[in-house]
Amino acid sequence: MNYVLLHIFRNTPFGRETFLQSLYFCKCIQARPVVYIPESDKFLFYFDKDTVQVDLDRSYLTSAETAKQNAEQLFEEMGISPSFYTPKNYTASTLPDISTRFDYLCCPRSVSDVSSKIGLGHIGARVRRIIQHARFPVLITSPVFKPWKRIAVLFGGSENAVNALNLGLKLSMASGVDMTIFTLKEKEEAHYRKIVKKRLPEGLGEQAEKDWLFFDRPAFEEMLYAIPHDALVVMGAYGHGPIKDVLFGSKLEKIQSTIGNPLLVIGPESRVELRP
């Protein structure tokens, strides 16, 4: 229960689905959800090397008077004691600084777009900047709450993919659900197995390798289809800039717009310790 997830609460039916996913995630991995009910339509995250202003749409301020009560009710339904976050510092009178000392953050697919547009659309630029700079993984929820029963890790052999694998293992151990690795082959299988053997502690590497599916290169969509519908997808993101995204496309965008599963994305600044 030492891990804490920050959830930005939206007092709408869509926000309820998002919040239920946060609560379920916390319940599974025994983390503590902390809810921030926005008091204005913007706030700031000060990361180590950048500051990100999150501009919320007006739906985050819907019925402010019932927001706390509704959040408490959902806490109660999940059997978790309510915990709320109150900003201590303000950059300007209506611009609170939200702490970045959390272990997880829950984001809808875009924090700055109206609910109707979200669906499986683009991940907002802000969410991508958060992922790029945050020391914590970001839970990008699916449009509708559905309990996940397994963990799917997308592993491509990079430094960030190793981080994602560590995170998947950690969550698998904490929640007791099975983990499957999905790899789109760009090199021989042995190359990926070697990375896992080298980078993961003894014993855990074997555990991770137990359930590993490889797909040949052009079959990216096939691989995404093979991901179980009730899986939490864990993946690493480079957070490269908009020019590279335009030229080469963004894997994260592609994945999130193709599958409806909740995603747990770990950025380049995030490091995962493998402690149970």
Partner 1 sequence: MKFILSVFRFFHHRLFVMDDRLILILAGIAAGMSSGLAAVALRLSLEWSLTWLEAYRHLWWAVILPGAGACLSSIYLEKGVRECAGHGVPEVIYAVSRYGGLLRFRSTYSRLLSSFLTIGSGGSAGPEAPVVMSGSAIGSNIGKWLKLNDRQRVTLVGCGAAGAIAAIFNAPLAGLVFSVEVILGEWKIVRIIPIAIAAVAGAEVSLAIVPEQVLFHHQPFDVGLRDVMACLCFGAVTALVSIAFMRVLRLSGTVAKQVPLPFWAKAFLGGCAVGVMALGLPVIMGEGYHHIQAMISGHFSLGLSLTCLALGLKMLATAMTLGWGGSGGVFAPCLVLGSLTGVVFHSGMTALLPESGFAGQGAYALIGMTGLISGVMQAPLTGIFLILEITNGYETILPLIAVSAVSSTISHYVEPASFYFRELIEKGQFLRPGTDARILADLNLSEVVRTDYEPVDENMVLRDFIAVIKTSSQDYFPVISKGSGAYRGMIRLSAVRAYALNPMMHDMVLVSQIMDTGMATVSWENDLGDVIELMDLHRADALPVVEDGRFGGMILKTRILDLYRRELIMQTSVH
Write out the residues near partner 1 by the rule CB under 8 A.
1-2, 4, 32, 41-42, 44, 46, 49-51, 53, 55, 81, 83, 88-95, 101
In angstroms, rounded to a whole number, what is the distance separating the alpha carbons of residues 136 and 63? 30
C-beta closer to partner 1: residue 102 or 182: 102
CB of 14 to partner 1, least distance (A): 22
Which phi and psi angles does 96 have, rounded to 5°?
-75, 150
C-beta closer to partner 1: residue 93 or 116: 93
Burial of 243 (0-12, 13-18, 19+ CB in 10 A): exposed
Which candidate, 52, 30, 53, 55, places its Cα nearest to that of 41? 55
In angstroms, rounded to a whole number, what is the distance separating the alpha carbons of residues 264 and 137? 6
CB of 44 to partner 1, least distance (A): 8
CB of 49 to partner 1, least distance (A): 6
In terms of phi and psi (left: phi > 0; alpha: psi -120 to 50; beta: otherwise), the region of 63 is left
- For residue 144 the two structure tokens come to 């509708």
C-beta closer to partner 1: residue 32 or 68: 32
C-beta closer to partner 1: residue 92 or 243: 92
Which candidate, 109, 141, 55, 104, places its Cα nearest to that of 253? 109
In angstroms, rounded to a whole number, what is the distance separating the alpha carbons of residues 134 and 100? 8
Contact 85, 34 (CB under 8 A): yes
Contacts of 176 (CB under 8 A, 6+ apart): none
In angstroms, rounded to a whole number, what is the distance separating the alpha carbons of residues 59 and 12? 7
C-beta closer to partner 1: residue 95 or 204: 95
CB of 177 to partner 1, least distance (A): 23
C-beta closer to partner 1: residue 2 or 116: 2
User: At what angle are helices 13-29 and 64-78 packed, to 10 degrees?
Assistant: 40
CB of 52 to partner 1, least distance (A): 8
C-beta closer to partner 1: residue 41 or 209: 41
CB of 2 to partner 1, least distance (A): 7
CB of 94 to partner 1, least distance (A): 5
